[in-house]
Amino acid sequence: MLFRICVLGSALLLSACAGKTIVPNYQNSNPFLQVGGEQPANSVPVVENAGSFCLEVSEVWHSDGKTPDGQKLWARDTLRKVVPCP
């Protein structure tokens, strides 16, 4: 009798766990991260005047791993370098 209760309890526990699959939510409001799809396009470099010098600012996307279900993670880097002012 105790054996039957243990087997029945185990079966109920396994069926309860198997029925509740967690669905991933990939909605993202972070502008520096994108989940899935193709690599986003890199922006055209922009020159910003910083007073006594200028900065060339460019944004570059790169692959930064994968989600548990295999979708690519894309991250955006912002690169700055000092350039002569136009």
Long-range pairs for 75-81: beta carbons < 8 A, 24 or more residues apart: 75/32, 75/33, 76/31, 76/32, 76/33, 76/34, 76/40, 80/55, 80/56, 81/55, 81/56
pTM: 0.60
39 closest CA partner among 61, 67, 70: 61
pLDDT for residue 28 = 74
What is the per-residue pLDDT for 81? 94
User: Tens of pLDDT along 36-69?
Assistant: 889 999 999 999 998 889 999 999 999 988 988 8
Domains of the chain (ranges, CATH numbers): 33-86 (3.30.1040)
Condensed to tens digits (0 to 9), the pLDDT of residues 3-20 reads: 666 666 666 665 655 556
